[in-house]
Chain A
Amino acid sequence: MSEADLRITIGGLVFKNPVLTASGTFGYGKEFAPYVNLHHLGGVVVKGISLEPRRGNPPPRIVETTGGMLNAIGLENVGLDRFITEKMPYLRGIGTRVIVNILGDSLEEYQALGQRLSEVEGISALEVNISCPNVKKGGVAFGTDPTMAEAVTRAVCAHSTLPVIVKLSPNVTDIAQIARAVEAGGAQAVSLINTLLGMAIDAKSRRPRLANIVGGLSGPAIKPIALRMVWQVAQAVKIPVIGIGGITTTEDALEFLLAGATAIEVGTANFVNPRASQEIVEGLARYVTDNRLDGIDEVIGGLILS
């Protein structure tokens, strides 16, 4: 029996399988090396990088909710320079595609990140975070306004030689409209969804459970919303869609592929089951073999409506 063909293509790049890890849930890859054979994954999307290091929000930063968690990390990261010198040497050796998630406060910062990272060896693509809801002057304005979303996409694309994936915020009225805008701006793919803005209160102390008051909801609780949005966006754009949101099992991944996603990212599940991403790769291979498919691409967009 030959090995199942899980290859997919995004932005002209062939990925060995459609399973990526979501930014902010997989560190810089190395953190998961004791648990996962990183080279088995389709790719690793690293923790979001800004031009300068960011300290992030004060604690408490996370709280568990039913079937999910809220986070308000505040985009803490080591900054571009340390990322390139300290994190990239390891990432170049992991044997799979490295996608760098970037975030900025201005068009100029996004441009500079796109430009600098294009010169770094070993990076396959950029994922542009225009949607993180945690930092008050952060990406929220870009991600919720079609004009700004298109502008930031255009800015990164113009200054980068790498394929550009734009990560969309679900905290909008019409996500398909934003997706069309970033497609017009030159994005080679969109990934969605980022976290949903949420809140938790300690009724005893009458205080918010997060120091930031509000935070991003992730985990299995958001999967139906994410799946609906992926399906809507897949109808609306021609570029590949990467599905994210509460994916914890092979079946979850298949649902997103059927809804039209070309690839998926595993996020919060990494915290719960550090081997989740690899197990999904193995599960998809079994699915392809068991169903005698020529490849995983036969599943993509295969939702039956009748």
Chain B
Amino acid sequence: MNQCEEQAEIVRQEQLTPEIFRLTLKAPEIASTAKPGQFVMVRTTSCYDPLLRRPLSIHQTVGNQQVQLLYKVVGKGTRILAALTPGQKLNLTGPLGHGFDLAGHQALCLVGGGMGIAPLYFLAKEILRTANPTKCIVLLGARTATELGPLPQDFMDIGATETHIATDDGSRGHHGFVAELLPQHLGPSPWTVFTCGPHPMMKAVVGQCRQHGWQCQVSLETMMACGISACLGCAIPRADLSGPYLHVCKDGPVFKAEEVAWL
């Protein structure tokens, strides 16, 4: 456990699309130990409205000094984040949870939907740097083409083998769901699929993996108050629906797909 509280200075705030922002922070303590799939809890205000910290996946670390977060403005907390400018400070706790299992995978496929793309970039960067996979296919889903901004190109720039896109409105790539791209781009086993995104998307991806015998790791998101397994708010049921609940902040946020229930 290397988690800590850090007053992170904002280095850069980039608006990628009308709603999506990329925030780069100087947070050496967190950056030097963070692993792909881990998250930070962001205190958006020193006042108490909104009250709770916001869990955000680490989009990447830069040179053991910086942490980058990718977020979409959806409410009060993220609106406050979007108004921050370089030089201002943001209080983070992290790195939290346990991330993706990077070991021993040859052919990889990363499937991201919406802001679920955030942790997959950190994963792709680390795994391409350290594990020398035979293939790294990236499949990205969004409602519409403009929602993706520069993200598809970002994956190509770090050496992804292929990047394919699906949009709900057909404005770019496949017209339909991103999970539908899996069978046409992946051959028979052994593939390892890593996925993060809206629940219905991940459920469809997990279904494809089960059908084709691919290993699958999922990064889940829930409401949580603390991120450090004190509030127990982030409970999710196990695959067999019995026994104690799993907690996303501590047991996850990354799970093997077969560990959790897909209701």
| Chain A residues at the B interface, C-beta cutoff of 8 Å | 24-27, 31-32, 34-35, 47, 53, 55-56, 58-64, 66-69, 71, 73, 76, 219-220, 248, 268, 270-275
Contact string, B201-241, partner A, CB cutoff 8 A, digits 1/0? 00000000000000000000011111011111111110000
B4 at the interface (CB under 8 A from A): yes
| Chain B residues at the A interface, C-beta cutoff of 8 Å | 1, 3-5, 43, 48-53, 93, 222-226, 228-237, 243-245
Q: Which of B5, B243, B245 contacts A76, CB < 8 Å?
A: B245
Instruction: Tell me the complex Cα distance, A56–B231, Å.
Output: 12
Q: Is the CB of A271 within 8 A of B229?
A: no
Instruction: Tell me the complex Cα distance, A39–B130, Å.
Output: 42
Q: Is the CB of B229 within 8 A of A31?
A: yes
User: What residues of chain A lie closer than 8 Å to B53, measured between beta carbons?
Assistant: 271-272
Q: Which of B51, B225, B235 contacts A220, CB < 8 Å?
A: B51
Instruction: Tell me the complex Cα distance, A53–B222, Å.
Output: 23
CB of B217, distance to nearest CB on chain A (Å):
21
User: What residues of chain A lie closer than 8 Å to B93, measured between beta carbons?
Assistant: 35, 274
Known: A58-B237, A59-B236, A61-B235. A268 touches B51 (CB 8 A): yes
Q: Is the CB of A71 within 8 A of B231?
A: yes
Q: Is the CB of B43 within 8 A of A272?
A: yes
Q: Which of A32, A58, A73 contacts B233, CB < 8 Å?
A: A73
CB of A103, distance to nearest CB on chain B (Å):
14
Q: Is the CB of B235 within 8 A of A59?
A: yes
Shortest 4 CB-CB distances between A and B: which pairs? A62-B233, A27-B230, A271-B226, A271-B225
Q: Is the interface of A mostly helix, strand, loop or mixed?
A: loop
User: What residues of chain B lie closer than 8 Å to A68, measured between beta carbons?
Assistant: 51
CB of B97, distance to nearest CB on chain A (Å):
13
User: What residues of chain A lie closer than 8 Å to B228, measured between beta carbons?
Assistant: 27, 31-32, 274
User: What residues of chain A lie closer than 8 Å to B49, measured between beta carbons?
Assistant: 66-67
CB of B235, distance to nearest CB on chain A (Å):
5
Instruction: Tell me the complex Cα distance, A60–B229, Å.
Output: 15
Instruction: Tell me the complex Cα distance, A219–B1, Å.
Output: 28
Q: Which of B222, B229, B244 contacts A55, CB < 8 Å?
A: B244
- Which single residue of chain B is at the shortest CB-CB distance from A25? B230
Q: Is the CB of B5 within 8 A of A64?
A: no
Q: Is the CB of A272 within 8 A of B229?
A: no
Q: Which of A34, A55, A64 gathers most chain B CB within 10 Å?
A: A64
Q: Is the CB of B50 within 8 A of A219?
A: no
Q: Is the CB of B52 within 8 A of A56?
A: no
Q: Which of B5, B51, B223, B226 contacts A60, CB < 8 Å?
A: B223
Q: Is the CB of B229 within 8 A of A27?
A: yes
User: What residues of chain A lie closer than 8 Å to B237, measured between beta carbons?
Assistant: 58-59
Q: Which of A47, A60, A64, A76 contacts B222, CB < 8 Å?
A: A60
Q: Is the CB of A32 within 8 A of B231?
A: no
CB of B52, distance to nearest CB on chain A (Å):
5
Instruction: Tell me the complex Cα distance, A270–B51, Å.
Output: 11
Q: Is the CB of A71 within 8 A of B233?
A: yes
User: What residues of chain A lie closer than 8 Å to B223, measured between beta carbons?
Assistant: 59-64
Q: Is the CB of A67 within 8 A of B48?
A: yes
Q: Is the CB of B4 within 8 A of A34?
A: yes
User: What residues of chain A lie closer than 8 Å to B243, measured between beta carbons?
Assistant: 55
Instruction: Tell me the complex Cα distance, A273–B5, Å.
Output: 9
User: What residues of chain B lie closer than 8 Å to A24, measured between beta carbons?
Assistant: 231-232
Instruction: Tell me the complex Cα distance, A73–B49, Å.
Output: 22
Q: Is the CB of B244 within 8 A of A219?
A: no
Could you list 28 examples of A-B contacts with CB < 8 Å?
A24-B231, A27-B228, A34-B3, A34-B5, A35-B93, A55-B244, A56-B235, A59-B223, A59-B237, A59-B245, A61-B232, A61-B234, A62-B225, A64-B50, A64-B51, A64-B223, A67-B48, A67-B49, A69-B52, A71-B225, A71-B231, A73-B232, A270-B226, A271-B52, A271-B53, A271-B226, A272-B53, A274-B226
